[in-house]
A and B are shown apart, each in its own frame.
Chain A
Amino acid sequence: MITKTIIWRRPDGGISITYYDDSDDYDQIVAKHVSGDILKVEDGVSKVPHSREHRDCWDLSNDKVEVDPDKLQAKLDKISQDEFKKQAILSKLKLSESELKDLING
């Protein structure tokens, strides 16, 4: 039975959420699960964004877990840059993406 939540930041900057029962030994839970800075401990199951599409962009903001707009923008920028690089390579090869896939798949 989950009755408590620890929200903590990993060394890589991501947010981890540990769910546990308040009958558990808190120190032991922390020792076994938490390897970063504890941001918040709260009663009950913490409310998080319904969609996990941008789970890697979650952060604690306004005392609740939500998609961090800066992280999301950085992620979208990275996706755009990767797409731009991919299109540039395809352009140099004078191939469409589907033609490249066909070539790779034989």
Chain B
Amino acid sequence: MAFPSDLVRTKNWGTEVLTDSDLEGQFDLIINWVMAALNATTGHAHDGTSNQGPLLSSSAVTTTFGNGFTTVSAASGDYVLIATDVSDSNKTKKALVSDIVTLAAPTAAAQSDQETATSTTLMVTPGRQQFHPSAVKAWANFNGTGTPAVTSSYNIDSSITDNGTGDWTLSITTDFSATNAYAITGCCINSGASTPCFVTIKNGTTLAAGSVNVQVWRSDTAALQDVTTICVAMYGDQP
């Protein structure tokens, strides 16, 4: 910022008498100029030009991410100032850019990485987490009374087949890699009844890659039974 012209005063020291008001006026102007130069938003620019202070860094770019990281782009010979918080007594620290350790950009795990399941450095992303062998590939909670219906699910179609009492077929949206190449767990609840039930896969069938035939039985008479809540979860390999 330019030095104001009204602060440049010529005094005729031979004839003119300097009064108090002259001094106060000059001091006020000087203080106003200094305060303006120190203003938090409109003060000097530190760009290395006249009255703007020395150049601090003309190329630094700061980006703050939602995950708590802040990145600073600066030339290798520059210093980066790090403002700390009250936990560190608000001490500001500096680091030479060339001394800062380079972090490799995080790499997302591919489907094959998930399936190999050995990496401890790759990032798991939501769209591929299910490819890990331990992950559930499909699950469903469905009502087997009246007109059967899928209540909630993942990777299970809303379509459902009523094959008879206690006997339903569910279909899988993204099929498994092969027939009989996956595992299923299941449980059931017969709301309002005292006799427990159990879930099986229909005898004599195979685990088709894209569908599964589920049956529910009474635990006392081993008769097929319609129940209010059947839950199944499936694990295995998907293409």
Is A24's CB under 8 angstroms from B157's CB? yes
A70 CB, nearest partner CB in chain B, Å:
17
Chain A interface helix/strand/loop/mixed: mixed
Is A18's CB under 8 angstroms from B159's CB? yes
Knowing A14-B163, A20-B158, the reply to whether A33 touches B226 (Cβ < 8 A) is no
Is B149's CB under 8 angstroms from A19's CB? yes
Report A1-39 CB contacts with B as 1/0, cut-off 8 Å.
110000000100010111111001000110111100000
A40 CB, nearest partner CB in chain B, Å:
14
- A101 close to B (CB within 8 Å): no
B222 CB, nearest partner CB in chain A, Å:
15
Q: Which residues of A lie under 8 Å from residue B160 when comparing CB positions?
A: 18-20
Q: Which of chain A's residues has its CB closest to B146's CB?
A: A52
Q: Which residues of A lie under 8 Å from residue B157 when comparing CB positions?
A: 20, 24, 29, 32
Q: Which residues of B lie under 8 Å from residue A56 when comparing CB positions?
A: 164-165
Q: Chain B: interface residue count, which band?
A: 10 to 19
Q: Which residues of B lie under 8 Å from residue A14 when comparing CB positions?
A: 163-164
- A45 close to B (CB within 8 Å): yes
Knowing A32-B208, A32-B211, A45-B147, the reply to whether A55 touches B164 (Cβ < 8 A) is yes
Is A20's CB under 8 angstroms from B159's CB? yes
Q: Which residues of B lie under 8 Å from residue A48 when comparing CB positions?
A: 147
Is A2's CB under 8 angstroms from B171's CB? no
A interface vs B, CB < 8 Å? 1-2, 10, 14, 16-21, 24, 28-29, 31-34, 45, 48, 52, 55-56
B interface vs A, CB < 8 Å? 147-149, 157-165, 169, 171-172, 208, 210-211, 226
The 5 lowest CB-CB distance pairs between A and B, nearest first, are: A20-B159, A32-B171, A18-B161, A32-B211, A17-B162
